[in-house]
Amino acid sequence: MRDTDLSGLARVLVRVRRLPGAQHWRQCVVPAVAVGVCALLLVVFQHLSQTVDYRSVVVHLCHLSATEWVGALGATAASFVALVGRDAVGLRYVGAAVPRPPLWVGATVGSALGNATGFGALTGGAVRCRVYGVAGVTPGQVGQMTVFTSVTLALALALMTAAGMLGAATTLASMSGLPPGVLRGLGGAGLAGFVVLIAACRAVPKRVQLSGRFARLAFTIPARRDLLEELALSVADVVAASLALWTLLPHAGAHVGFAQFVTVYAAAMLLGMIGHTPGGVGVFEAAMVYALGSSVPTSKMLAALLAYRAIYFGVPLILSAGVLAVFEGHAQKTARASALAQRGAKSVSQLAPLFLAISTFVVGSMLVISGATPAFMKRIAILQTVLPLWVLESSQLLASLFGVLLLFVARGLFRRLDAAWWLALVIAALNLALSLAKGLAFVETGVLCVLIALLLATRERFNRHSSLFAERFTPGWLASVGIVIALAVWVLFFAFRDVEYSQHLWWQFAFDERAPRALRATLAAGLFAAALACWQLLRPAAGRFEKPAEEDLIEAAGVVRAQERSDAVLAMMGDKSFLFSESRNAFLMYAKRGRTWAALHDPVGPRSEWPALIERFVALAHAHGGRAAFYQVRADALPLYLDAGLTLMKLGEEAHIALPTFDLKGSHRAHLRYALKRGERDGFSIELIESTEVPGVLPALREISDAWLANRVAREKSFSVAAFMDGYLAAQSVMLLRQHGQPLAFVTFMTTDLNTEATVGVMRHLPGASPYAMEYLFTQLALHLKNAGFRSLSLGVAPLSGMQPTPLASPWHRGAALAWRFGGWFYNFRGLRGFKDKFQPRWEPRYLAASGSVSVFFTLADLSRLAGGARS
């Protein structure tokens, strides 16, 4: 389907979205409706379960035989085979073809995700877009195929329901309460509609356009063959799925025939699709219990439905996550794999965070609901002989709290955060012990082991360095957490219906007191979830780093060129946002990491506008619950930061060569003269490349840069350090060092239009270069700039330089002095200072001005990550 096919409908949707408050309306109303539907379903289940005992449900569930479990698994497998066939016909309908491996992966994995999360046409369609896209299928084609298969499934369910009404009206009348004549009439009308629908289809697809006042909709009527095959496969899918549930009800056949059961199943499934709950949960169960309650004992029905959910929805989801883990570590890393296989493996494995997020949310829900249910007394008796009571009590409470935390951590996994991966792994590992200690919950332990294995197999996919709670949780996510808590509360009252409530239950501690333990665990889980949700809703928005617009870069470049501070050219790297003054004659460049809003250097522009800019930036950071920081500010501006209420901390000193007095005379310049002579002997030569000529030598410069990074096992820096970026380098001048005509090293230098000050930018050399190469290069650069009339050349900051301990020094100052003296194993502080000292520079102190006191150390950690390229 081309993007223009639904252009009219898209225009209408865009108009609706642009209505005032439309976005806020969608974000709040949809979760509210979901919570309302959940509350209604719980009321219905409360009514249906009045005569059901929790223990009888558990007994029936435990007494399901291995044959019944295997039969249900076999029927589930047959259903998913039919799903693959449905996708194959759908692809043929849109004129696309996909090889068998991605077809099987896309159909099964997409269906498993769609079943587990609801809105299968959207979630499953997203999976198919990624998997089938490897074979050249466009998102438009996947969308058209998804609509075709979803509509056809709904038609198949309606067809099966109509056929059942017509063929078994008498039996269904007793279940539904409708007269047999009405059921036959509805069934006959439905079948007649299908006959008309099939007759309207032709041997080849037909394009149809519907034009109206507000929109123009285009779609393709499928060929009769495609429609009939898709309907047949959909019917086979539904029959196999219903057989999975039927197998778990071995005694249902004595009261209800399989044909009538399939009819009820199809109708309940259709209601679940209309309800749009995840997998039709709640709606489907209520319809099945209501229709078959008079024929099948409700306790047996509920036990079978629980087992059916675990088999038909849980097992495929776990296996799908396993498939992604296999792709993560197999085909993608196989050198002999075909290009298509490698692209497919990479595309499929990128779905791992989505599946891990869903699996983690399901596991968290399991732990919360498990805390609301009673453990088996036989297992409690075993634990009583080996564990003290406080271990049992605390294990159930902590397991429920960790379950709530997993519900929130799952969102971090969805965003591929490394912190979420670590936290999920730690929680799952801790709950292995807690699940055993609270009641020998072996099933929970097995599920947690599977989750841990999946997390370990997909570690490389969680590589985003950002705060776990930096981004607000959506109302939909918080509503999902609320639904889990509400379900746990309902299960608690259902499981302990025969226990008379008393306030003394809260304070009863004994091995056989299961109700008080469950009551305390559920209350703690609810309060913990409410606290986290309230904190998320009430805390200020954390804000998000955004790259500057092209217009802002152009305007900032004009401000930079009009002043003399050459280090302000770092603003042109494009990795920092801008905060302009009201006149837009001055600006701050800043980035964000975690809660730290870090401005680099002092404001750029007229000094009269600095105080207002500093105050605005501090207010901006505090408005988002963050910490304001000004990195590498100069001593003459410190009163401005003190007036803003910031804490000052010395970072080091910056080396400035006074160019008018720089020469090679005297004994203190002997090492520089030797470097020049040694360079001439080694065949060194210098080439000055103006900014207009830089693009022509970029390939040679990049070769040097890549070799330098590879030799140091490092990656490109940013923020306060000049980085090798084509666009950034193209706006600077470069001094290239050649040895016998071959490029060996280079240094870029930043200047402004005033040509009074220059700052060293990117400096790289090939591995194995002479130890005199950079000294030769910097000496030639200083001599060139002196002849060009520049007054100063900055060699950059030497960290912790000048941090000498004094009797009145702060703890930070004393610690920095110790790092300067003994930290050579971690960073060559003294070596960097020694190299720059060869040029006899003037050392100027540089400071950090930041919010808070103790939090300054967290700010320093965030600044380190910013220099490494992290943003949030």
The token duo for 619 is: 């207010």
Give the pLDDT score at 527.
Answer: 92
Integer Cα distance of 705 and 708 in angstroms? 5
Integer Cα distance of 478 and 103 in angstroms? 35
Residue 577: its H or E element: strand 577-580
pLDDT at 107 over 50: yes
- Please tell me which residue, 557 or 270, carries the higher pLDDT value: 557
- Please tell me which residue, 411 or 7, carries the higher pLDDT value: 411
**Straight-line distance from the first to the last Cα atom of the chain, in angstroms, rounded to the nearest whole number:** 37
Distances (CA, A) of 243 to 266, 470, 850: 12, 46, 66
Listed by start position, the domains of the chain span 554-630, 656-796+825-842
Confidence of residue 33 (pLDDT cuts 50, 70, 90): low
Integer Cα distance of 744 and 748 in angstroms? 14
- pLDDT, mean of residues 448-464: 82
Confidence of residue 468 (pLDDT cuts 50, 70, 90): low
pLDDT at 365 over 80: yes
From 744, 823, 746, 743, select the one nearest 778 (Cα to Cα). Answer: 746
Give the pLDDT score at 469.
Answer: 63
Lowest mean pLDDT among 103-117, 588-602, 647-661: 103-117
Residue 406: its H or E element: helix 389-414
Confidence of residue 780 (pLDDT cuts 50, 70, 90): very high
pLDDT at 346 over 70: no
pLDDT at 226 over 60: yes
pLDDT at 336 over 50: no
pLDDT at 778 over 90: yes
pLDDT one-digit tens code per residue, 567-597: 999 999 988 999 999 999 999 999 988 788 9
Provide the mean pLDDT of the chain: 79
Give the pLDDT score at 384.
Answer: 83
- Please tell me which residue, 582 or 14, carries the higher pLDDT value: 582
Integer Cα distance of 701 and 746 in angstroms? 7
Q: Of all residues in the chain, what percent carry a pLDDT higher than 90?
A: 24
pLDDT at 517 over 90: no
Give the pLDDT score at 728.
Answer: 87
Give the pLDDT score at 822.
Answer: 42
Q: Of all residues in the chain, what percent carry a pLDDT higher than 70?
A: 78
Lowest mean pLDDT among 110-124, 190-204, 251-265: 110-124
Lowest mean pLDDT among 16-30, 225-239, 417-431, 533-547: 16-30
Integer Cα distance of 598 and 588 in angstroms? 10
pLDDT one-digit tens code per residue, 39-98: 766 676 666 666 677 777 878 787 888 888 898 999 999 999 998 898 888 888 888 888
- Please tell me which residue, 206 or 604, carries the higher pLDDT value: 604
Q: Which amino acid is at 56?
A: S
Confidence of residue 493 (pLDDT cuts 50, 70, 90): confident
pLDDT at 8 over 50: no
Distances (CA, A) of 26 to 22, 408, 471, 533, 541: 6, 22, 19, 19, 19
DSSP state letters, 184-227: HHHHHHHHHHHHHHHHH--SS-EEEEEE-SS-EEEEEEPPHHHH
- pLDDT, mean of residues 185-210: 71
Integer Cα distance of 432 and 447 in angstroms? 9
Lowest mean pLDDT among 126-135, 463-472, 620-629: 463-472
Which of 203-217, 381-395, 529-543 is modeled with the greatest confidence?
Answer: 381-395
Q: Kindly report the three-state secondary structure assignment for every residue of 457-525.
A: HCHHHCCECCCCCCCCCCHHHHHHHHHHHHHHHHHHHHHCCCCCCCHHHHHCCCCCCHHHHHHHHHHHH
- pLDDT, mean of residues 271-293: 70
Which of 349-353, 425-429, 477-481 is modeled with the greatest confidence?
Answer: 425-429
pLDDT one-digit tens code per residue, 602-612: 999 999 999 99
Matching residue, tokens 């040679």: 700
Lowest mean pLDDT among 135-144, 447-456, 759-768: 135-144
Residue 445: its H or E element: helix 442-457
Give the pLDDT score at 735.
Answer: 96
Integer Cα distance of 346 and 839 in angstroms? 51
Give the pLDDT score at 539.
Answer: 65
pLDDT at 15 over 50: no
Give the pLDDT score at 602.
Answer: 95
Distances (CA, A) of 361 to 324, 355, 409, 450, 481: 18, 10, 8, 14, 9
Give the pLDDT score at 787.
Answer: 93
Lowest mean pLDDT among 403-407, 502-506, 820-824: 820-824
Integer Cα distance of 633 and 452 in angstroms? 46
Q: Are 348 and 105 in contact (CB under 8 A)?
A: yes
- Please tell me which residue, 637 or 713, carries the higher pLDDT value: 637
> Measured at the alpha carbon of residue 18, what is the angle toward residues 14 and 24, in degrees to the nearest 5?
115
Give the pLDDT score at 844.
Answer: 92
With 0-12 CB in 10 A as exposed, 13-18 as middle and 19+ as buried, what is 570?
buried
- Please tell me which residue, 768 or 547, carries the higher pLDDT value: 768
- pLDDT, mean of residues 316-344: 57
Confidence of residue 760 (pLDDT cuts 50, 70, 90): very high
Q: Does domain 656-796+825-842 have CATH number 3.40.50.300?
A: no
- Please tell me which residue, 754 or 715, carries the higher pLDDT value: 754
Give the pLDDT score at 169.
Answer: 65
pLDDT one-digit tens code per residue, 395-449: 889 999 999 999 989 888 887 788 889 999 999 999 999 988 888 888 888 889 9
Confidence of residue 10 (pLDDT cuts 50, 70, 90): very low
Return the number of other C-beta atoms located less than 10 Å from residue 755's C-beta: 14
Integer Cα distance of 561 and 18 in angstroms? 40
Give the pLDDT score at 788.
Answer: 93
Integer Cα distance of 62 and 376 in angstroms? 12
Matching residue, tokens 């720089």: 662
Query: Which residues lie closer than 8 Å to 665 by C-beta, 6 or more apart?
Result: none
Give the pLDDT score at 508.
Answer: 79
User: Secondary structure of the chain: what % helix, strand, coil (to 5)?
Assistant: 65, 10, 25
- pLDDT, mean of residues 479-499: 82
Integer Cα distance of 112 and 123 in angstroms? 10
Integer Cα distance of 562 and 682 in angstroms? 41
Return the number of other C-beta atoms located less than 10 Å from residue 872's C-beta: 22
Confidence of residue 315 (pLDDT cuts 50, 70, 90): confident
Dihedral, 153, 155, 157, 159 alpha carbons, nearest 10:
-140
Confidence of residue 750 (pLDDT cuts 50, 70, 90): very high
